[in-house]
Amino acid sequence: MTASLELPWLARHAVAEPVEATLLIHGAGRFLANQPRLVMQDENGRPTFVCARDSPVAAAAGSFAVLRLRPRSDGGPVATVVLAGQLAADRTHPLAMSDTAVLTLAAASIVIEQDDPGSPTVIQHTVCPQHYASAGPDALAAAARSLQEHMNDAHQRRLREFAARRAGLGDDQIASAALTDLGRDGARLNWIDTSGAHIAAIVFDRPAHGPAGLARLLHAQLCARR
């Protein structure tokens, strides 16, 4: 999976499930999001903030802002996702009331900063806004289908070896094996051995976020010696 395809997933994942979120507003200051007084939501990839109408964040509508996010790690390099753009008040949002303001961040720039384990430098990657917008849940399902087909077509030996370990049999006793129902939380493995047909669940230890994370988690399960 190339970086150009993987990075938009990482950015979308950071907006959907950030471990840490910091909003820096020009002229207003620095604010920690996902706190009682400033709640951040993911509105189809657009960061949306809910706060008290008399708060400094609400008063900053129209200002330039930078949102720094730390996503949950799926085993890849530690990253920070940085979205920059203009804050706009959303007065038609269902949560916008007399005492509550809702603002959205229209990101004109999306950058991913990745720590380089071999040096003190930080590697920066720019994410195309169009790629970011298209990296939604439906695309994850498409990536899972593609990976599943690839495993069944090109990695029969590995699937049979995994089935043999699960069944406590030798590899030569597995007639065939097929991966099904691959998704962010795991998959199923169907196989036929000397005693008939069987199905086993493959459960990831954490949800997959993006194609590379999905491939890493599946690989870890298939290679686990247990």
Write down all domains in the chain, each with its CATH number in brackets.
3-135 (2.30.110.10), 139-223 (3.20.180.10)
Model confidence, pTM: 0.67
pLDDT at site 138: 67
pLDDT at site 2: 40
**CB–CB of 127/112 below 8 Å?**
yes
What are φ and ψ of residue 169, in 5° steps?
A: -120, 170
pLDDT at site 116: 66
Tokens of 202: 């493959």
User: Which three-class secondary structure state does DSSP give residue 190?
Assistant: strand
- How high does pLDDT run on average in the chain? 88
pLDDT at site 137: 67
User: Which three-class secondary structure state does DSSP give residue 199?
Assistant: strand
Q: Which residues of the chain have pLDDT under 70?
A: 1-5, 73-77, 116-119, 137-139, 226
H-type alpha helices, 92-210: 129-134, 137-154, 156-167
pLDDT at site 16: 85
Find, among 7, 10, 34, 13, the residue nearest to 23 by Cα. Answer: 34
**CB–CB of 160/173 below 8 Å?**
no
pLDDT at site 1: 39
